[in-house]
Structure formats: C-alpha cells, structure tokens
Amino acid sequence: MEHAPFHMSLPCYSISKTRAFYVDVIGAEIGRNSTRWLDVNLFGNQITFTKSGEFNFVFRAYKFGDTVLPSFHFGVIVDSDTWERMYKKLNTPEYELTTEVTFLKDKTGEHRSFFIQDPSGHSLEFKTFNDQSEMFAE
C-alpha cells in the first residue's frame, strides 16, 4: 500500500490556545483556518481542530505491558533523531510528559514513546521504532 498522509478532525476548547501549542510548542505549521477551526500540518498529516463545547472520552486508559496508556491518543512515528530532538525540547518542567517508555524490548517492533497533552487534553504520542520496517510486523 502506498504511503499517504492521514487526516483527522478533533474537537478543541480554544482555537488560539490550540494554535499556540501546535505552533510554538510542537513546531507545526498552520494551514487553512478560521475563528472556528484550524488545520495543523503535523509532520505532513492534516489535523483539523474544531471549536466545540464540552467533550468526554469515557474509556481513559489501557495497559500495554506494564505501562498504562491513554486509550484515546494520536501521534506521529518519526526517526530516532527527530524523536530525540522533540523529547529534549518538550521534556521540561513547563510541559507534562509521560516518562519515556520502551515497548517490546528486544522483540520485533521494539519502539520508544512519550506523550504530551495539548490544551484540550488530547494526548499526542511521539514514537520511534528501532527498525522502521517492523512498524506493522507481528
């Protein structure tokens, strides 16, 4: 299957806070936008945030190995240099990251992840595989 960027649409509480987080903190670019919605270019993927009222994702977490993860999250899979750069940039007292975790240690699909929450409470994951060809390996 050919590689294709994905599009996702998510609710947000504030367009201005969402814009500031994704541009100033993450370093993403903004595409088309208005006062009610905003397109974010997240590593070549289009995420549209739409201003909404209260929203709730009921099933908050699940367990993968010994680590509890947010059930509702999205993220990007990046090379190890980009992952290290983003981790160093975001691993400060100003931002709340989950501890860096290695999953499937010494197994097919071994990867490292960390999560950060945006202003609307969405969990954004940064993931890097030891071997990118194992992304979908069983």
- Domain CATH number, residue 95: 3.10.180.10
Residue 63 inside a domain? The answer is: yes
Per the structure, the complete domain to which residue 128 belongs is given by 7-134
Residue 1 inside a domain? The answer is: no
- Please tell me which residue, 115 or 137, carries the higher pLDDT value: 115
d(CA 97, CA 87): 9
pLDDT at 88: 94
User: Tens of pLDDT along 27-42?
Assistant: 999 999 999 999 999 9
Number of domains present in the structure of the chain: 1
1 band by pLDDT with thresholds 50, 70 and 90: low
Looking at the chain, the whole-number percentage of residues with pLDDT higher than 70 is: 96
Of 23, 116, 5, nearest in space to 31 by CA: 23
60 band by pLDDT with thresholds 50, 70 and 90: low
Does 95 score more than 70 pLDDT?
yes
Residue 2 inside a domain? The answer is: no
Residue 47 inside a domain? The answer is: yes
DSSP helix/strand/coil, 75: strand
